[in-house]
Structure 1
Amino acid sequence: MNKELEHKFVTELENNQNIVHKVCSLYTNDKDSHNDLFQEITIQLWKAYPKFRGESKFSTWMYRVALNTAITLYRKSKRRIKTQDYDSVIFKIKSNEYDNTQEEQLKLMYNAVKQLGDIDKALVFLYLENKSYTEIAETLGITEVNTRVKMNRIKNKLRTILNP
């Protein structure tokens, strides 16, 4: 892969890394697992980047890869995220420490969301990121109508979880 493509990737990843941190927060329960999942998502993004055609925004594509990676790993390991070594590529990414205090108000909501199924978690996550139903449907690969129906059902589940 050429240096220009690598530079574009690193720049996009640095600018959008909070997306990956938020996905990691949804699918992990401790800092080590969070860091491992972040690394695995970064590896999957890097592997897939040469095929990114720019038909959607980079952030939309990044959401899709990150969520698919997290869901796949979560389902395979049933709570324990396993990573792989990828020694051939070393990125010099300026890492911003993820600041959980900014999202302290959402802590109860995130805990409730963690009780949902994998796809429902992803849908809520994108909804909380202010993505349109069209963008959510595109990211998850489902219809917009299905997205709306699922979201209404999820809202009811969350109300039940938060107000027992």
Structure 2
Amino acid sequence: MTSREHQRRFESLLREHRRIVFKVAGLYSRSVADREDLVQEISAQLWRSFGRYDEARAKFSTWLYRIALNVAISQARRWPAMDRHEALDAHHLDSIGGEPVAEPDERVEALHAFIGQLDPLNRALILLYLEDRSYSEMAEVLGISETNVATKISRIKQKLRGQMTASSGA
């Protein structure tokens, strides 16, 4: 494959899967400017790594998630601790494919606030879970075992149930 064909293939795959890049960037950014910077950084890292992408080993979307999440998590770790966890607001929902509800639902807002408080790895796990990715794919993307994926999801759900129950006054 010539370098021009290689570049066209990359551009085509990235265009086809760009929604993933925007979801990840939206979930890990603190502002619109941060989101734009993160999209650029993820795209640059994808291009730098594309020569090592092996279709026989992983689907492109799995490979893309892994790189995008690694870049986003690395970026999130560089921010001061007080800036790391932010409730998801309308700009986050737009960028991760959610649709703001005309009349805000308190439970949905509570869920978004909960996700915004998760550490970067668990936030990535929930993103993949909400995308209906298999435990096997989540494990591959995050570099952890399927058992660890199942355990973490179970703990997150338990914590969420506890918060939702506490907030409803039950």
Range of TM-score over shorter length = 0.7 to 0.9
Please give the alpha-carbon distance, in whole angstroms, between the structure 2 residues aligned to 1:29 and 1:159: 26
1:123 aligned residue = 125
1:22 aligned residue = 23
Counterpart contact for 1:113–1:158, Cα < 8 Å: no
Shift of 1:144: 0.6
2:144 aligned residue = 142
Count of aligned positions: 147
**TM-score using structure 2 length:** 0.78
1:37 aligned residue = 38
2:105 aligned residue = none
- Identity over the aligned pairs, expressed in percent? 39
Residue 65 (structure 1) aligned to one of 64, 67, 70: 67
Backbone CA RMSD of aligned residues: 2.1
Show CA shifts across 1:99-146 (max 9, x none). 667432566533321101111111111000100111101111111111
Quick one: structure 1 residues 160 and 103, their matched pair in 2 at CA, closer, same or farther if it must change by over 3 Å? farther
Quick one: structure 1 residues 99 and 116, their matched pair in 2 at CA, closer, same or farther if it must change by over 3 Å? closer
Bigger-Rg structure (1/2): 2
The gaps in structure 2 that reach 5 residues or longer are 85-93, 102-107
**TM-score using structure 1 length:** 0.81
Q: 1:103 aligned to 2:99? A: yes
Task: Specify the code of the residue in structure 2 equivalent to 1:73.
Answer: Q
Deviating 4+ runs (over 4 angstroms): 98-102, 105-108
1:52 aligned residue = 53
